[in-house]
Amino acid sequence: MPATGALKRVIAPLIDPVAFDFWAARVNPLLSWERPLARVVARQVTARDCVTLVLRPNRHVPPVQAGQHVPVTVEVDGVRLTRSYSPSHVRASHARRRGGRKDCLAITVKRIPGGRVSSHLCQEVRVGDVLELGEAFGAMTLRPDVPRWLYVAAGSGITPLMSLLRAQTAATAGVDVTLLYWARTRADLCFLDELRGLEKAAGSGQPGVRVHIILTREATLLPGEYSGRPSADLLAQLVPDLAERQVYACGTGGFVDSLRTLLADQVAGFEAEAFTLPERAAVVGAPVQVTLRRSGRVLDIPAGEALLPALEARGIHPKHGCRMGICNSCACDRISGTSENLNTGATQSEPGVVRICISAARSDMTLDL
């Protein structure tokens, strides 16, 4: 609100944001001088080990578009941890409004066994709790120039695609979207009833939403369900007009890599977002010395191990966001040494900027941290 903005500018020099937040939170946990916070207003189990949290953001949360992801920060055992989550639902008015009351967005979180943030969000967080959000990132957003879409999801990779599908079907009749949705078993599927409802809404012979479920570990398949890993044959069988479709794919690094190999030259366009690094990231070697210039610390870290989790495991918590090389929040100067980009396998020895979430040391190295 303009009045609030003007007042804030006038009193800003007199305010200590930390003290303001401390006292303001006693009145309303969403009140903050500048921190983007969101209150959990609903919680629903969406599938096995999977919970949807509906969030009401405060006025500092930047706009989010369907298909993007936001950093979510929580405190677990006294440590602040940040992970990215792609809202499974973004209300259009949230994307448009700046300031004033924001509409809700929802994140759907799959609990990873041993995963610190996903376990906390799925098992500990309750209605009324407050989470810290960050700036949204991601280029898998709606494009008006695309007539036919192919969405391909594996597991929790359904979230950004569900958000896109909800936004599309709410805005336009007759959208032409085929969704291929991979999961281990039927119990792991999210949003199935809603997806089947969207499918039914299109008359036969009309463009609309087509949903194909592919289960990799279900003993008995129902009519309309398929099994198997992504393959050229299965894709051609389920999507006869593959060549005319723009693909958005989302899942683990390995899933996305295999689809890119299968589809890149076969479709009208291919974009993907991976929730994990590709499997090749796991190749680690003998320890090298990583020197942190600012703190003066010298650490032994196995060559090939991603630097960000390696530093965190040693009690150092550098600034970061998506942990997948997308948002650049963790970029810092590599003063010396050779780094490997774990997404591409490329090595770099010239001094320069390195994103520590997707980089590993391949020699002794000095970072400006």
* Spatial contact of 146 and 270, defined as CB atoms under 8 Å apart: no
Using CA atoms, how far residue 69 sits from 24, 242, 357, in Å, is 28, 27, 16
Residue closer to ligand FAD by CB (options 117, 175) is: 117
Neighbours of 59 (CB within 10 A): 18
Residue closer to ligand FAD by CB (options 288, 327) is: 327
Give the x/- contact pattern for ligand FAD in 8-37, rule: CB under 6 A.
------------------------------
* Spatial contact of 262 and 235, defined as CB atoms under 8 Å apart: yes
Asked if 63 is part of the footprint of ligand FAD (rule: CB under 6 A), the reply reads no
Asked if 320 is part of the footprint of ligand FAD (rule: CB under 6 A), the reply reads no
Whole-number Å distance between alpha carbons of 30 and 104: 14
Asked if 163 is part of the footprint of ligand FAD (rule: CB under 6 A), the reply reads no
Among candidate residues 102, 119, 121, the one with its CA nearest the CA of residue 52 = 121
Residue closer to ligand FAD by CB (options 239, 281) is: 281
- How far is C-alpha 335 from the geometric centre of its chain's CA atoms? 30
Pairing mode, if any, of strands 130-133 and 297-302? unpaired
Q: Name the residue type at position 257.
A: D
Closest-by-Cβ residue to ligand FAD is 115
Asked if 166 is part of the footprint of ligand FAD (rule: CB under 6 A), the reply reads no
Q: Inter-axis angle of helices 192-201 and 158-171, to 10 degrees? A: 30
Interacting span for ligand FAD (CB under 6 A) from 23-31, 115-123, 351-359, 361-369 = 115-123
Residue closer to ligand FAD by CB (options 88, 339) is: 88
For ligand FAD, the binding residues in 171-230 under the rule CB under 6 A are none
Exactly one of 24, 25, 112, 125 binds ligand FAD (CB under 6 A); which one? 112
Residue closer to ligand FAD by CB (options 51, 211) is: 51
Exactly one of 162, 311, 322, 356 binds ligand FAD (CB under 6 A); which one? 322
For ligand FAD, the binding residues in 69-88 under the rule CB under 6 A are 69, 83-86
* Spatial contact of 337 and 364, defined as CB atoms under 8 Å apart: yes
Asked if 48 is part of the footprint of ligand FAD (rule: CB under 6 A), the reply reads no
Residue 44 makes CB contacts below 8 A (sequence gap 6+) with: 51, 52, 54
Exactly one of 38, 106, 117, 167 binds ligand FAD (CB under 6 A); which one? 117
Give the x/- contact pattern for ligand FAD in 271-310, rule: CB under 6 A.
--x-xx----------------------------------
Radius of gyration for the chain, computed over Cα atoms and rounded to the nearest angstrom:
22
* Spatial contact of 137 and 45, defined as CB atoms under 8 Å apart: no
Token pair in block for residue 20? 């303001």
For ligand FAD, the binding residues in 255-274 under the rule CB under 6 A are 273
Token pair in block for residue 195? 């997806």
**Backbone φ, ψ for residue 275 (5° rounding):** -85, -20
Residue closer to ligand FAD by CB (options 238, 331) is: 331
- Residues near ligand FAD (CB under 6 A) are 69, 83-86, 107-110, 112, 114-119, 156, 159, 252, 273, 275-276, 322-324, 326
